[in-house]
Structure 1
Amino acid sequence: MPVRADAPGFTQAVTQTVTPRWALAYAASLGFTAPACLDDAAPGGLAIPGPFCVCLEWALVGGDERAARLGLTAAERRRNVHVSQDSVFHRPVRPGMAVTTTSRIAHARQTSAGAFLLTRLDSRDAATGALLVTSWSGAVLRGVAFDGEVDAAMPSEAPAEPQPLAPGGEREVIATARGLPHVYSECARIWNPIHTERAVALAAGLPDIVLHGTITWALAGQAILRARAGGDVTRLRRLSARFRAPVIPGDSFTLHHAAAAEGVRFTALAKGGAVALASGLAVLG
């Protein structure tokens, strides 16, 4: 079924409590092994990596209510591909905090690959209303039509795509384990069988199970923090990238990054040289 033409403007909200168990599991699954990320008894408290925000957002972008509102069948839901993530970290998320996340579909259009949806998500401290994270999340429903304007303009409030990385800069090869998406799915609470069940991935037209784009994105941010901020996760202010070619679990990918006026630009190449992350930008404080 086509995505409904009135999808833009659809708004949801959910409040979730960030438990130490959830935050610790997320950090461990991605190798954020510094004591600040894994010691919840430390005097300064547990530091939760900024990319954890996608765990809070998944309840909305991957939830039943949104799928029903868009008019998606179960098979169409499995064709959802996360294609971009741009998150700005205003204040740290803390263990024990109740966080209210609000999502709004800001834009939808037809593309050659399928219906494209751009969603704005704001996460706030439920007790104070303080803004913690603002994210813009892009997704394509592969092979699913959009029953609205084909050439709808992007909303003016959406951030401009960062400039691509020029040749040069630092290079790092990042290894991934075959079981990483299985561990991450459970620790992050982000479930999509194309990442863990090979039969489902093959039926969806993929060559194999693939890493979540948010894994590659977070690992890129982690490597940049390690190279340029002593691994201090509290210094990450923004992390943005477009997700292109998939990374197969068990393969390594190569990260290139270089300092620029607006932050650290980066790109990542999958095995074989295909671009996995494009127009990447990390802003450090």
Structure 2
Amino acid sequence: MPIDPSAVGAEAGPVETSWSSKDALLYAVGVGAGTNELAFTTENSAGIDQQVLPTFAVIVGMGAPALGKAGDIDWTQLVHGEQAIELAGPIPVAGTVSTTSRITGIYDKGKGAVIATESVSVDAETGEHRFTTRSSVYIRGAGGFGGDRGPSATADPVPGGEPDHRVTTTTSPDQALVYRLSGDRNPLHADPEFAKLAGFDRPILHGLCTYGFTGRALLHNLCGGDPSRFASMEGRFSAPVFPGDELTVSMWDTGPGEARFTTSTQTGQVVIGAGRATWR
């Protein structure tokens, strides 16, 4: 069955997802946190309580994928388009959430299809809202089914002038091998032969790993390193990143508790654009 535009509104779940302190620590190391961020990378450092990076929501909030209800999807042709998270508060070091996902849009782009989804996660015991994740994917070759073209991806320029904050970090040549241990085992990020079949000369970094590096920069520069202040983050993936690349996150303050951002590599190529973040 090709992409089915009538699947908009289809739901999946609820599905329960649990995580431990170890899972949160592994994720933090997978997105580049190290010895200068012991609150996120250790659980037993003297005088330091373990905390969880806000972008961990993209790992534990994906438990009920409604995407499969949109029809036959060639997963080798899927590209991550946009990602957003909204958090009700800090993510606990260990816990269980119940997640329900639904398809919010299916768009025919001619040569491909865009599918947008939203997942809402609540505490499995109390029902308290923990976080919401929203994403869109582009599936190459899946268009032409006659559906709504949907909104166009328009340019979203950042404010003029120098950014108010800028931070550069370097990903490890082995970064994808660590990040994949948090759940995304797609061979595109580890197997050179598979990467060649996808048109790359070597494996690329997970888009959500780049997203996690970016989230760390936002957390420390906009929220003083305090996850309880981190409210939301959204961005559009625009180019691949390779393990070993530098990532520069540029941030412009646009109002109380609001900022725009971009993430670019050492070549100046923007890899996450249309970035917006809010904090408390």
Q: Is the 8 A contact 1:266 1:281 kept in 2?
A: yes
Q: CA 1:251–1:70 in 2, change beyond 3 Å: closer, same or farther?
A: same
1:277 aligned to which of 268, 272, 278 = 272
Alignment match, 2:195: 201
Alignment match, 2:211: 217
Letter of the 1:49 counterpart? L
Alignment match, 1:88: 86
**CA–CA separation in structure 2 for the residues paired with 1:115 and 1:140:** 6
Gaps of 5+ in 1: 155-160
Q: Is the 8 A contact 1:78 1:192 kept in 2?
A: no
Deviations 1:136-194 (A, max 9, x none): 1111112222635132469xxxxxx98734341133322111211121011x2122222
Letter of the 1:79 counterpart? Q
Greater alpha carbon shift after TM alignment, 249-258 vs 114-123: 249-258
**CA–CA separation in structure 1 for the residues paired with 2:156 and 2:48:** 34
Alignment match, 1:173: 168
Question: Could you say what secondary structure the match of 2:6 adopts?
Answer: coil
Letter of the 1:115 counterpart? A
**CA–CA separation in structure 2 for the residues paired with 1:8 and 1:150:** 11
**CA–CA separation in structure 2 for the residues paired with 1:200 and 1:217:** 23
**CA–CA separation in structure 2 for the residues paired with 1:144 and 1:192:** 20
Matched, 1:47 2:51: yes
C-alpha displacement of 1:239? 1.1
**CA–CA separation in structure 2 for the residues paired with 1:2 and 1:178:** 38
Query: How does 1:197-276 map onto structure 2 within 5 Å?
Result: 197-261=191-255, 263-276=258-271
Question: Could you say what secondary structure the match of 1:264 adopts?
Answer: strand
Question: Could you say what secondary structure the match of 1:267 adopts?
Answer: strand
**CA–CA separation in structure 2 for the residues paired with 1:129 and 1:26:** 25
Alignment match, 1:158: none
**CA–CA separation in structure 2 for the residues paired with 1:96 and 1:253:** 29
**CA–CA separation in structure 2 for the residues paired with 1:132 and 1:36:** 20
Query: How does 1:49-198 map onto structure 2 within 5 Å?
Result: 49-61=53-65, 66-67=67-68, 69-72=69-72, 76-145=74-143, 147-152=145-150, 164-169=158-163, 170-186=165-181, 188-198=182-192
**CA–CA separation in structure 2 for the residues paired with 1:147 and 1:127:** 42
Deviations 1:96-150 (A, max 9, x none): 3111111101001012551101101111101111111112111111222263513
Deviations 1:207-230 (A, max 9, x none): 432222211122112123223333
C-alpha displacement of 1:246? 0.9
**CA–CA separation in structure 2 for the residues paired with 1:94 and 1:162:** 34
Q: TM-score, normalised by structure 2?
A: 0.87
Greater alpha carbon shift after TM alignment, 35-44 vs 104-113: 35-44
Q: Is the 8 A contact 2:111 2:144 kept in 1?
A: no
Count of residues in Structure 1 that have an aligned counterpart in Structure 2: 273
Q: CA 1:171–1:37 in 2, change beyond 3 Å: closer, same or farther?
A: closer
Letter of the 1:231 counterpart? G
Q: CA 1:275–1:230 in 2, change beyond 3 Å: closer, same or farther?
A: same
**CA–CA separation in structure 2 for the residues paired with 1:149 and 1:256:** 37
Gaps of 5+ in 2: none
Question: Could you say what secondary structure the match of 1:78 adopts?
Answer: helix
Question: Could you say what secondary structure the match of 1:217 adopts?
Answer: helix
C-alpha displacement of 1:60? 3.4
Question: Could you say what secondary structure the match of 2:125 adopts?
Answer: coil
Question: Could you say what secondary structure the match of 2:143 adopts?
Answer: coil
Alignment match, 2:26: 25
Greater alpha carbon shift after TM alignment, 126-135 vs 27-36: 27-36
Question: Could you say what secondary structure the match of 1:15 adopts?
Answer: strand
Percentage of identical aligned residues: 27
Question: Could you say what secondary structure the match of 1:101 adopts?
Answer: strand
